[in-house]
Amino acid sequence: MRLAELSRRSGVSAATIKYYLREGLLPPGERVTATQAEYGAEHLRRLRLVRALVQVGGVPVARAREVLRAVDDAGQDRHGRLGAAVWALPHGPEPEEDDPVTALARERAAELTARLGGSGHGEGQAEGPPHRMLVSALAALLRLGYPCELEQLLPYGELAARLAVHDLDVIERYEPGNAQVEAAVALTVLYEPVLLALRRLAHAAESERRYAAPERRPPAGPVSPAAGEAGR
Amino acid sequence: MRLAELSRRSGVSAATIKYYLREGLLPPGERVTATQAEYGAEHLRRLRLVRALVQVGGVPVARAREVLRAVDDAGQDRHGRLGAAVWALPHGPEPEEDDPVTALARERAAELTARLGGSGHGEGQAEGPPHRMLVSALAALLRLGYPCELEQLLPYGELAARLAVHDLDVIERYEPGNAQVEAAVALTVLYEPVLLALRRLAHAAESERRYAAPERRPPAGPVSPAAGEAGR
């Protein structure tokens, strides 16, 4: 397809596509005349990933380029490409160095991943960006005096491990190779707000279940009276 | 305690505390002389929450003020105050109006919350900010052609419901009243990066389990050979 068609099918303006081409986020098309190039399905797929990263995930263009370089690294196996691509994503503030609270957070993170080890929290992750993101998040909890004990953290880790199994099952429906690695990166980014929104909704639901005045609770089952309008 | 002591114990500079006082994020202390005021444990607690919101969560000051107003709203019961405070948090981009993809995302979100209804996804949530955050996140998936079927989403919703039970158990250890609502809001914000970091780590671990070359896998149990150094 030509650029105009690629723009129509991707919903990305021709100017933005040209910008992505210049910035190396999109491989060049196959040149057919001096001024025209032909684009294929892989360009369409790559554009989706770029939009997921840049437009939805807010990943800076330079960072997105690194992610894509890892996706395309034919010298790595699937695990290596996936890992490198996710490591290249932004991970929030780095943990502070040489700080006793960070040292404690590091210890807590190491205990946690050791305890989750049974579910396969891999080696070599201890110095990666997701691990540093965890240390940074735990340091914030500790610094502010909020609960950060292993028993608080373990359920989070166990549920994350289950989500990972589910997510990789979804990803395996994509064709092995670039398409699969691209989908994995896009879904890592795009499901994060889904997860956070569902957690906030679930909090509201659980708070309602526990604390709402009875007339504000939705009917619990066929025998309960219809919920009243009082207190709304 | 005096301002200097409050600064020392909270780790927040005196200048920042004065700024928070001026902006109404912190209630005034009890005036003891023309130039000095006395602060109590509730100021220390409130400062922790403000830091969680503003410094860690990146919540703008004006938005933080709204969150705190909801926390302090004595006219509301616990469920109402908690809900209002979380609704006042930033929720990312609003869903686009009058757009067929958003309409489909809205439908998908409604189906999902209906299916999760058994775990108590409350009434009145359908138009709240966490619900709109969900619609927006699903619209992004749909627009980019990534999987967004109910079977993909349900495990996320079910795990979020479990986290909510766990989280409210943690929160109930705080004294009912302001302390509890403040902790709930702080933990909503502070555990989000913990959850995202653990999900990324779990992805890496599951990818390693499935795809890493055998010599890169950590030993699976006592009988397995020591992991080699090849391929690192």
Mutate to test the interface with B, among A196, A217, A232 (most CBs of B within 10 A): A196
Residues of B in contact with A140 (CB under 8 A): 52, 56, 190, 193
State the maximum Cα–Cα separation within chain A, in Å, rounded to a whole number: 75
Tell me which residue in A56, A78, A89 faces B140 most closely, judged by beta carbons. Answer: A56
Q: In this structure, is residue A197 part of a structural domain?
A: yes
Residues of A in contact with B206 (CB under 8 A): 120, 161, 164-165, 167-168
Distance between B229 CA and the closest CA of chain A, angstroms: 12
Residues A207 and A104 in one domain: yes
Count of structural domains, chain B: 2
Q: In this structure, is residue A45 part of a structural domain?
A: yes
Residues of B in contact with A212 (CB under 8 A): 77, 79, 122
A130:B190 CB<8 A: no
Please give the pLDDT value at position A179. Answer: 86
Distance between B30 CA and the closest CA of chain A, angstroms: 24
Question: Could you give the count of Cα atoms lying within 13 Å of A134 in the half-sphere of its Cβ?
Answer: 28
Q: Which residue of B has its CA nearest to A190?
A: B141
Q: In this structure, is residue A87 part of a structural domain?
A: no
Contact A92, B193 (CB under 8 A): yes
* Mean pLDDT (whole number) for B111-116: 89
Distance between A34 CA and the closest CA of chain B, angstroms: 31
Nearest to A188, CA basis, from A47, A66, A83, A46 = A83
Q: List the pLDDT tens digit at each of the 232 positions of chain A.
A: 999 999 999 889 999 999 999 999 999 999 998 888 999 999 998 998 998 888 888 889 999 998 898 888 888 888 888 888 888 888 888 888 878 999 999 999 999 988 887 444 555 566 788 899 999 999 989 988 888 899 889 999 999 999 999 999 999 998 888 888 888 998 989 999 999 999 999 998 888 888 876 665 555 444 434 444 343 3
A128:B202 CB<8 A: no
Tell me which residue in B48, B79, B122 faces A144 most closely, judged by beta carbons. Answer: B48
Residues A66 and A124 in one domain: no
Residues A129 and A58 in one domain: no
Nearest to B176, CA basis, from B55, B102, B79 = B79
For residue B167, name the pLDDT band (cuts at 50, 70, 90). very high
* Mean pLDDT (whole number) for B123-144: 84
Residues A108 and A196 in one domain: yes
DSSP at B170: H
B208:A155 CB<8 A: no
Distance of CA A147 to the CA centre of its chain: 25
A206:B164 CB<8 A: yes
Distance between A117 CA and the closest CA of chain B, angstroms: 9
B209:A113 CB<8 A: no
Distance between A60 CA and the closest CA of chain B, angstroms: 17
Residues B33 and B65 in one domain: yes
Distance between B37 CA and the closest CA of chain A, angstroms: 23
Taking only the tens place, the pLDDT of each residue in A59-94 is: 899 999 988 988 888 888 888 888 888 888 888 888
ipTM score: 0.85
Mutate to test the interface with B, among A59, A132, A194, A217 (most CBs of B within 10 A): A194
Q: Are strands A37-38 and B37-38 parallel, antiparallel or unpaired?
A: unpaired
Q: In this structure, is residue B70 part of a structural domain?
A: yes
Question: Could you give the count of Cα atoms lying within 13 Å of B77 in the half-sphere of its Cβ?
Answer: 12
Q: Are strands B30-31 and B37-38 parallel, antiparallel or unpaired?
A: antiparallel
Residues B12 and B72 in one domain: yes
Please give the pLDDT value at position A219. Answer: 52
Residues B60 and B126 in one domain: no
Residues B64 and B113 in one domain: no
Please give the pLDDT value at position A176. Answer: 84
Tell me which residue in A52, A164, A210 faces B168 most closely, judged by beta carbons. Answer: A210
Distance between A4 CA and the closest CA of chain B, angstroms: 18
Q: In this structure, is residue B143 part of a structural domain?
A: yes
Q: In this structure, what token pair is assigned to residue B216? A: 């890169």
Nearest to B40, CA basis, from B52, B49, B28, B50 = B28
Domain-ending residue, one of A77, A109, A126: A77
E strands in chain A: 30-31, 37-38
Domain-ending residue, one of B87, B109, B134: B87
The amino acid sitting at A188 is: T
What count of other Cβ atoms lies within 10 Å of the Cβ of residue A156? 22
Q: Which residue of B has its CA nearest to A186?
A: B146
Q: In this structure, is residue A85 part of a structural domain?
A: no
Contact A10, A47 (CB under 8 A): yes
Residues A66 and A119 in one domain: no
Question: Could you give the count of Cα atoms lying within 13 Å of A180 in the half-sphere of its Cβ?
Answer: 20
Q: In this structure, is residue B170 part of a structural domain?
A: yes
A86:B200 CB<8 A: yes
CB pairs under 8 A between A and B: 291
Q: In this structure, is residue B157 part of a structural domain?
A: yes
The rounded distance, in Å, linking the Cα atoms of A73 and A80 is: 9
- The residues, ordered by sequence, that sit 6+ positions from B107 with a Cβ below 8 Å of its Cβ are none
B204:A140 CB<8 A: no
Mutate to test the interface with B, among A116, A165, A206, A224 (most CBs of B within 10 A): A206
Task: Answer positive or negative: Cα dihedral of B38, B41, B44, B49.
Answer: negative
What kind and span of H or E run contains B7? helix B3-10
Residues B80 and B120 in one domain: no
Residues B172 and B144 in one domain: yes
Tell me which residue in A82, A153, A201 faces B125 most closely, judged by beta carbons. Answer: A201
- Whether B179 shows a pLDDT value over 80: the answer reads yes
Residues A66 and A108 in one domain: no
Q: Which residue of B has its CA nearest to A169?
A: B152
- The residues, ordered by sequence, that sit 6+ positions from A158 with a Cβ below 8 Å of its Cβ are A116, A119
Domain interval for residue A42: 3-77
